[in-house]
């Protein structure tokens, strides 16, 4: 028969290990909790600024600052910023000539990541109209990208290639590839996976520049440069809120408008007893902010003026609302 004292002695080492583990972890509990709190606050602040900018594009101010969409916007900003920042940190100790020579490889990596994330998270919207200018300009940029890619691949695989030639081929590849995508967006205003590559590569370049310019220097000069860092942060927030967040699917907490068909009551100031196809930008406790199919500014519709909202542009898709349904 086993003595009770033996059981106690046998269990004592495990108890000591647990106590030692708690003792070792305890010093990290306070910094960890503060870090989580700071991250949550930063996510909320970024999300609030992004959503406010998004609403301002439609001509109104958000009504509820505590909606889950605010945190979702901040979380997406953090996510899409963390990817290029994490990659950029791996280059902070390399010389500039080596970093520039790696631009082509980084570009390929970002294209791979973008092709995976883009069609999952972003709303493609309606295709842009094709113009003759786009056709021939695409040929120019496309041929340049292919030639630069060939030079870069050959330079990467050749043992005789100098770092300067590799850097030149890398810069040419980035210039033609991203230049083609930037021109298409500025002229045609369409949104494709290449636009996400623009974001990734831009954040990557800014982060590398910051890391190489200030390698762990937090002296007085570094503190004086805090204003520049904040300025860059606000520019990055503006770009994300203006160009990227409006294309994130609403089902993921993004700002992409939702196609709806609204049926108005007989007392409505807008189309009484009629229906209207529109884009739902935001919903509050008191009403809806909608945008016409070819309009840029939102219209506020009180809830008491709405009889029914169907989340599609065509009622023919619903057997409940179709006149032929029995």
Please write down the HEC assignment for all residues of the chain. Answer: CCCHHHHHHHHHHHHHHHHHHHHHHHHHHHHHHHHHHHHHHHHHHHHHHHHHHHHHHCCCCCCCCCCHHHHHHHHHHHHHHHHHHHHHHHHCCCCHHHHHHCHHHHHHHHHHHHHHHHHHHECCCCCCCCCHHHHHHHHHHHHHHHHHHHHHHHHHHCCCCCHHHHHHHHHHHHHHHHHHHHHHHHHHCCCCHHHHHHHHHHHHHHHHHHHHHCCCCCCHHHHHCHHHHHHHHHHHHHHHHHHHHHHECHHHCCCCCEEEEEEECCCCCCCCCCEEEEEEEEECCCEEEEECCCCCCCEEEEHHHEEEEECCCCHHHCCCCCCCCC
**What is the structure's pLDDT at 200?**
95
Lowest mean pLDDT among 83-97, 126-140, 166-180: 126-140
pLDDT at 22 over 70: no
Average pLDDT (116-134) is 67
Lowest mean pLDDT among 27-36, 95-104, 205-214: 27-36
Contact 230, 46 (CB under 8 A): no
Query: What does the pLDDT look like over 197-218, one tens digit per residue?
Result: 999 999 999 999 988 887 655 4
pLDDT at 4 over 60: no
Rounded Cα gap, residues 196 and 118, in angstroms: 7
Query: What does the pLDDT look like over 45-91, one tens digit per residue?
Result: 999 999 999 998 888 886 677 788 889 999 999 999 999 999 999 99
Lowest mean pLDDT among 99-113, 120-134, 142-156, 306-320: 120-134
């Amino acid at each position: 028969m086993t003595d009770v004292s033996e059981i106690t002695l046998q269990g004592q080492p495990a108890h000591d290990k647990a106590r030692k583990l708690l003792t070792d972890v305890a010093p990290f509990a306070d910094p960890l909790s503060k870090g989580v709190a700071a991250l949550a606050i930063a996510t909320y602040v970024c999300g609030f600024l992004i959503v406010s900018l998004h609403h301002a594009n439609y001509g109104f101010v958000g009504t509820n600052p505590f909606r889950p969409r605010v945190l979702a916007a901040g979380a997406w900003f953090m996510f899409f910023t963390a990817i290029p920042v994490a990659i950029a940190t791996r280059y902070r100790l390399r010389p500039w000539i080596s970093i520039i020579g790696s631009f082509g490889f980084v570009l390929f990596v970002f294209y791979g990541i973008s092709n995976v994330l883009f069609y999952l998270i972003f709303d493609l919207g309606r295709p842009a109209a094709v113009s003759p200018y786009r056709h021939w300009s695409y040929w120019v940029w496309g041929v340049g990208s292919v030639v630069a890619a060939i030079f870069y691949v050959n330079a990467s695989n050749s043992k005789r290639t100098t770092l300067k030639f590799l850097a030149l081929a890398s810069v040419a590849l980035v210039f033609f590839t991203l230049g083609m995508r930037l021109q298409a967006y500025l002229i045609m205003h369409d949104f494709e996976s290449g636009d996400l590559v623009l974001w990734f590569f831009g954040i990557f370049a800014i982060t590398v520049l910051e890391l190489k310019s200030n390698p762990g220097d937090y002296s007085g000069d570094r503190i004086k440069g805090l204003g520049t860092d904040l300025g860059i942060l606000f520019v990055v927030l503006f770009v994300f809120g203006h160009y990227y967040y409006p294309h994130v699917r609403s089902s993921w907490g993004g700002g992409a408008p939702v196609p709806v068909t609204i049926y108005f009551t007989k007392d409505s100031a807008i189309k009484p007893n009629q229906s209207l196809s529109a884009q739902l930008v935001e919903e509050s406790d008191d009403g809806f902010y909608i945008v016409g199919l070819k309009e840029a500014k939102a219209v506020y519709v009180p809830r008491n003026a709405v009889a029914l909202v169907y989340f599609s542009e065509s009622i023919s898709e619903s057997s409940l609302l179709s006149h032929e349904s029995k």
